[in-house]
């Protein structure tokens, strides 16, 4: 089996995959395809005139994605890392202890928050058109609302942090065009995050455990 992609608009890259490779659907990058080909075959998997279609497949906008499905995917990504965190990692982090195990999973989980936050910032700022920026903000507000409904407060916090980032908050002309119903949802989500931030640290940790047990 070959994985075919286009690193550039004129170059096709073919990578032969190991025969024992599993989870192929999860490993397929954007703008790539799988082909089954005989080893002695010299014919190209993808002709040159197929490059534009493959490049187009790699261009995925958040506006083309379903907000509910995206919220669930964020939740799954969060949970994969969260469930690996050992209880001792919380204790080590809370009291500043230096154990032999350390806090590798907790650190990775914190990095995921930053990753999601700056993903939001990047998706908004890369749009040069005001109307599209408004649409992107509306899409993230919808995702935030779904995250709240399914109790994924981690991604909710990340997205709200991204929407409230200084680089995004300074887009006054854009925010003025965001409909009031979206601003209300955004403001309510901000209030929830501020309440959680005001909780004592031990209560926060207890809340996190309870949240994921319920989930």
The string of pLDDT tens digits covering residues 45-80 is: 766 666 677 666 666 788 888 999 999 999 998 888
Structural domains present in the chain: 2-57 (no CATH), 62-214 (1.10.840.10)
What mean pLDDT do residues 76-97 have? 84
Tens of pLDDT, residue by residue over 1-30, are 777 776 666 667 777 777 777 777 667 666
Helix-, strand-, coil-residue percentages of the chain, each rounded to 5: 65, 5, 30
Distances, alpha carbon 25 to alpha carbons 18, 29, 58, 65, in Å: 15, 9, 15, 18
Tens of pLDDT, residue by residue over 180-190, are 999 999 999 88
148-151: Cβ within 8 A, 24+ apart: 148/189, 148/192, 150/71, 150/72, 150/75, 150/215, 151/211, 151/214, 151/215
């Amino acid at each position: 089996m070959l994985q075919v992609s286009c690193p550039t608009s004129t170059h096709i890259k073919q990578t032969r995959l190991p025969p024992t490779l599993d989870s192929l659907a999860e490993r397929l990058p954007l703008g790539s395809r799988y082909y089954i080909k005989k080893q002695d075959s010299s014919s190209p998997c993808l002709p040159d005139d197929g490059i534009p279609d493959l490049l187009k497949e790699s261009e995925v906008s958040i506006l083309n994605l379903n907000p509910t499905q995206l919220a669930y995917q964020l939740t799954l990504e969060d949970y994969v890392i969260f469930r690996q965190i050992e209880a001792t990692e919380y204790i080590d982090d809370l009291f500043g202890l230096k154990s032999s195990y350390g806090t590798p999973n907790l650190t990775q989980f914190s990095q995921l928050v930053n990753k999601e936050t700056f993903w939001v910032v990047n998706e908004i700022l890369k749009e040069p058109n005001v109307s599209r920026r408004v649409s992107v903000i509306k899409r993230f507000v919808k995702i935030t609302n779904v995250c709240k409904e399914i109790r994924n407060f981690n991604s909710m916090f990340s997205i709200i942090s991204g929407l409230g980032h200084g680089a995004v908050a300074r887009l006054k002309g854009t925010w003025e065009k965001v409909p009031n119903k979206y601003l209300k949802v955004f403001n309510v989500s901000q209030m929830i995050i501020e309440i959680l931030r005001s909780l004592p640290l031990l209560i926060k940790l207890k809340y996190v455990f309870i949240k994921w047990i319920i989930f």
